[in-house]
Chain A
Amino acid sequence: MDPSLAGILLVDGLTHGVIYVQLAIACVLIFSVTRIAFIALGEFVTFGALSLAALHDGRVPGTLWLMLALAFASVLLDAAGALRRHEPLVRVTVAAVRGLSLPILIAVVVYWGSTRGWPLWANSLLALAIVTALGPYTYRLAFERLADASLLTLMIVSVGVHFVMTGLGLVFFGAEGSRNPSYWEGATIAGSLRIANQALLTAIVSILLVVALWLAFRFSLRGKALRATAIDRFGARLVGISPARAGRLTFAVAALLAALAGLLAAPGTTLFYDSGLVIGLKGFVAAVAGGLLSYPAAAAAALGLGLIESFGSFYASAYKEAVVFTAILPVLLWLSIRHRRAGGEA
């Protein structure tokens, strides 16, 4: 293989890799705080991209109505629970109104702005807002009740959520894919390599995000509280850290990461309503390679995955997906042996 070809494949692999990094980080985040192996994360990716496409076309995306519906359901359930605990009606009503204020605000802005042909960046922010809001409500409705359930149950519920969201994706966006306009047209030449500016932007955003998350987690007290939930759940509850609130916040951040990944990837790849599964699984596979607990390992694995995919598609283009998914098996085996040696039961 000549160096220039290797160079192209390298760039290609890393371009996809940084997308997977965002997803892998999001998976690790979710698992480390809530023990959920969230296979449905890919759907947030496609929702982000397709919502933007709809807004760009001057339409209100179906995801907005979904977000509103889930918001209402969440707030209602919260209110019902509070009333059952004999909390005062006034306080419950105030909480409900406060809980609905943000979703309604988003809805109003989207509705008002959808026909006005706002610029790309504005629509992007709106798409992000919609899909990010979906995260905590999804957690509240599907997972919060199952806080103490087994890992397996949580995984299967994730599968259920995946089905619902994929099906809804078809309803909202139809079977046609969309390719969004680039945020940064053109390309940069570095030596003999030609790097699309969009790819460069994606890499920059990814790195910034990962660094920002890392800083927040490591240095803010709220971030440490989230970590504490994962380190010792009982201890966290004993000092009054609410696992439920931790879960919702985590899902919000993860949804943001995934939606952003979708917005960044969409200009380069056509995304369909059902593209989420494979993308999400790849990010997930990378996260697992990091043992589902280590951010640097997950990021490295995600980049590695992108490279395997890129080089694999060159050598055996038809089988590149099969290669990627088979490659995880020895990693799983190694992780499992290590887990058993550390005292876990078979």
Chain B
Amino acid sequence: MNPELLRVEALMVRYGKATVLSDLNLVVRKGTVVAIVGPNGAGKSTLLNALVGAIPSVGKVEFDGERMRSFDLDQRVAAGIALVPESRALFGDLSVLDNLLLGAYRFIGQRGSARSEDHLASVFDLFPRLRERRSQLAGTLSGGERQMLALGRALMMRPRLLLLDEPSIGLAPRITADVFASIARLRDAGMTIVLVEQNARAALAIADEGHVLETGRLVLSGPASELANDARIIETYLGSAVS
């Protein structure tokens, strides 16, 4: 079994009066893809935002043995956690190339800055379309291309943990297939990935481990292949059977 990279214990997130996540426990092992699926409003984005430190949370988060402080995005980014948010957060007025180079901003002027060129080359290998469009403004890309760019920029950060928020959202099924194939390729190359997705079937197809999130709690967990065939998932998405 691969060593642990991320350990989450008793995570809780409140937003005003509402408790969005409660009593969440999660273990992510190196080199695996963990998929967290569930219906809308379950708290999936909130989970990732809490993991990257963008919102305050209560509970223990340990990254590679190091205790992470709540609500300290800078610490987690410096530790090597990269988030691709649902909004993609691209720099629309800058070119594709600039977006990618800014992904390696942390390494400018430091030892190892030259390696960014190699990383750029491998991102272009993974997403040839980006190489074609490298001078184009990020704001003019199509949905699928934006997703690729967002992923590419995150990869330029040389992350140890990649958090993907709904990678398939707004994408046509064929592009979704491409995106998930790329995710699987990244895992094969050794990357550790946590992805939250509404499209349960596609996500579980490439994941190693799966969890189902419903109204802020993990209600089902297990190996992804088993979970994909579990009838209880349908209930969490479409409600318990009407009498």
A interface with B by C-beta (< 8 Å): 85, 221-222, 224-225, 227-228, 231-232, 234-242
- Chain B hits for A234, CB < 8 A: 54, 85, 87, 89
- Chain A hits for B117, CB < 8 A: none
Cα(A240)–Cα(B52), bound, Å: 12
B interface with A by C-beta (< 8 Å): 52, 54, 69, 73-74, 77-78, 82-83, 85, 87-94, 98, 101-103, 105-106, 108, 153, 157
Minimum distance in angstroms from B93 CB to a CB of chain A: 5
- Chain A hits for B105, CB < 8 A: 221, 225, 239-241
Cα(A228)–Cα(B91), bound, Å: 6
- Chain A hits for B103, CB < 8 A: 239
Minimum distance in angstroms from B92 CB to a CB of chain A: 6
Q: Which of A221, A231, A238 contacts B52 (CB 8 A)?
A: A238
Cα(A240)–Cα(B98), bound, Å: 15
4 closest A-B pairs by beta carbon, nearest first, are: A235-B89, A240-B106, A228-B91, A231-B91
Minimum distance in angstroms from B13 CB to a CB of chain A: 17
A241 and B102 contacting across the interface, CB-CB below 8 Å: yes
- Chain A hits for B77, CB < 8 A: 237-240
Q: Which of A222, A232, A240 contacts B90 (CB 8 A)?
A: A232
Q: Which of B87, B88, B94 contacts A227 (CB 8 A)?
A: B94
Residue of A nearest to B49 (CB): A234
Residue of B nearest to A234 (CB): B89
Q: List 27 A-B contacts (CB under 8 A).
A: A85-B69, A221-B102, A221-B108, A222-B108, A224-B91, A224-B102, A225-B105, A227-B91, A227-B94, A231-B91, A231-B92, A232-B91, A232-B92, A235-B88, A235-B89, A237-B77, A238-B52, A238-B73, A238-B83, A238-B85, A239-B103, A239-B106, A239-B153, A240-B77, A240-B106, A240-B157, A242-B74
B98 and A224 contacting across the interface, CB-CB below 8 Å: yes
Cα(A6)–Cα(B238), bound, Å: 76
Q: Which of B91, B98, B101 contacts A235 (CB 8 A)?
A: B91
Residue of A nearest to B103 (CB): A239
Minimum distance in angstroms from A295 CB to a CB of chain B: 13
- Chain B hits for A236, CB < 8 A: 91
Cα(A222)–Cα(B102), bound, Å: 9
Cα(A85)–Cα(B153), bound, Å: 29
Minimum distance in angstroms from B98 CB to a CB of chain A: 5
Residue of A nearest to B78 (CB): A240
Cα(A339)–Cα(B157), bound, Å: 35
Known: A221-B108, A234-B54, A235-B91. 12 other contacts (CB 8 A): A221-B101, A221-B105, A224-B98, A224-B102, A225-B102, A228-B94, A232-B91, A236-B91, A237-B74, A239-B77, A240-B77, A240-B105
Cα(A234)–Cα(B94), bound, Å: 15
Minimum distance in angstroms from B163 CB to a CB of chain A: 10
- Chain B hits for A242, CB < 8 A: 74
> Taking A227-B91, A228-B94, A234-B54 as contacts, is the C-beta distance between A239 and B102 under 8 angstroms?
yes
Residue of A nearest to B163 (CB): A238
Minimum distance in angstroms from B240 CB to a CB of chain A: 37
Minimum distance in angstroms from B149 CB to a CB of chain A: 11
- Chain A hits for B98, CB < 8 A: 221, 224
B73 and A237 contacting across the interface, CB-CB below 8 Å: yes
Cα(A224)–Cα(B92), bound, Å: 12
- Chain B hits for A235, CB < 8 A: 85, 88-91
Cα(A241)–Cα(B98), bound, Å: 14
Cα(A344)–Cα(B92), bound, Å: 19
Cα(A224)–Cα(B83), bound, Å: 21
Minimum distance in angstroms from A26 CB to a CB of chain B: 21
- Chain B hits for A237, CB < 8 A: 54, 73-74, 77
Most B CB within 10 A of own CB, among A224, A236, A239:
A239
Residue of B nearest to A240 (CB): B106
Most B CB within 10 A of own CB, among A85, A227, A231, A240:
A240
